[in-house]
Amino acid sequence: MLHFVVRRVLWAIPVLVVVSFISFVIIQLPPGDYVTAMVAEMRNNGEFVTAVQEEEIRTALGLNDPLLVQYVRWISAILLHGDFGQSFHWNAPVADLIWGRLGITLILSTLSLVFTWLIAIPVGVYSAQRQYSFLDYLFTVFGFLGKGIPDFLLALVLMWVGFAWLNMDVGGLMSPQYEGQPLSVAKALNVLGHIWIPVVVLATGGAAGLIRVMRANMLDELGKPYVETAYAQGLSERQVVWGYPVRVALNPFISTVGWALPALFSGDVITAVVLNLPTTGPLLLQSLKMQDMYLAGGFILILSVFTVIGTLLSDILLAWSDPRIRYA
């Protein structure tokens, strides 16, 4: 097991190097650069900048250096100082922008992931155990509805319900009077009152699909001979089902849990925009629209790194849960 983990971790290193390089190339791809934008802004403000001066600034900032040199400078700044460069749209360090929103994004995404699993696994198991029962059909209907209704529509409906019938102020993560206030019990309660809508929206969408996956996996597993063996040992139905087939049926879940990591980070962009949530998703969307290259590049790099780490985590978890992979 240790051998397996060490080997996987070592393999992740070259992957990360390649991924970060590709991220950097992507930032450079759009025509124009930071200086072009800065000079255009200065000219707008009535300052006179010649092409020679523009070129000097570029040289001073190192933008004329070969791509490889620039890459090494960019990546070493990130690695050594945590400096992701400057966002010229927000005129603030990229790192501050991203880390500022990361906390709330992770809380929200983790909550919705936990709820997704809490709903999807028991319901999927029940549906498979009692296939074609009334509740199975009911869950199936809700599953397809949940899958079919776009998240943002559900978000709008829930906002309207909360606003019109429950008389709540909805949207955002807290009421305006708590913005920028230090953390207090009242503020925490207020956040809880707001956060349920995105959590419900994100969890239903995710759970609807996962219920189907879990049900199908369980149906496959329940018919296998080892389940009959387990019954023949005198275990109760609950012990059999949760002890044996669920363990095996969870493997596809475990192998995809790593993908949740980048998804946690980017969040559900449209839902976040509709609900006006201060998460990283809308920030990424905006940075792409504005060609805010260092911000977008920082995002792409972090997303890629999270994907690599997530896959690594999945592999390790899967090896831990399924001996056939560990020893293969």
Binding site for another protein (CB under 8 A): 224-226, 228-237, 243-244, 247-248, 321-324, 327
Given the complex with another protein, which of 41 and 228 has the nearer CB atom?
A: 228
Given the complex with another protein, which of 33 and 136 has the nearer CB atom?
A: 136
CB of 224 to another protein, least distance (A): 6
CB of 233 to another protein, least distance (A): 4
CB of 215 to another protein, least distance (A): 16
Collapsing DSSP states into helix, strand and coil, what is residue 25?
Answer: helix
Given the complex with another protein, which of 252 and 278 has the nearer CB atom?
A: 252
DSSP 48: -
Listed residue (319, 289, 285) closest to 303, CA to CA: 285
Listed residue (121, 111, 315, 109) closest to 213, CA to CA: 121
CB of 294 to another protein, least distance (A): 46
Given the complex with another protein, which of 119 and 318 has the nearer CB atom?
A: 318
Tokens of 40: 């255009």
CB of 312 to another protein, least distance (A): 21
Q: At what angle do helices 185-222 and 134-148 cross, to 10 degrees?
A: 120
What is the rounded CA–CA span in Å between residue 199 and residue 155?
Answer: 10
Collapsing DSSP states into helix, strand and coil, what is residue 93?
Answer: strand
b/e map 1-21, b = 16+ CB within 10 Å: eeebeeeeeeebeeebeebbb
Given the complex with another protein, which of 169 and 228 has the nearer CB atom?
A: 228
Are 38 and 88 within 8 A, CB to CB? Answer: yes
CB of 327 to another protein, least distance (A): 7
What are the CA-CA distances from residue 208 to residues 30, 79, 108, 150 (Å)? 38, 40, 18, 12
Given the complex with another protein, which of 191 and 227 has the nearer CB atom?
A: 227
**How many residues would you count in the chain?**
328
Given the complex with another protein, which of 163 and 226 has the nearer CB atom?
A: 226
Residue 19 identity (one-letter amino acid)? V
To the nearest 10°, report the CA torsion of 214, 218, 220, 221: 140
Are 163 and 169 within 8 A, CB to CB? Answer: yes
What is the rounded CA–CA span in Å between residue 49 and residue 47?
Answer: 6
CB of 247 to another protein, least distance (A): 5
Given the complex with another protein, which of 150 and 223 has the nearer CB atom?
A: 223
CB of 315 to another protein, least distance (A): 16
CB of 248 to another protein, least distance (A): 6
Listed residue (310, 170, 301) closest to 254, CA to CA: 310
Given the complex with another protein, which of 96 and 237 has the nearer CB atom?
A: 237
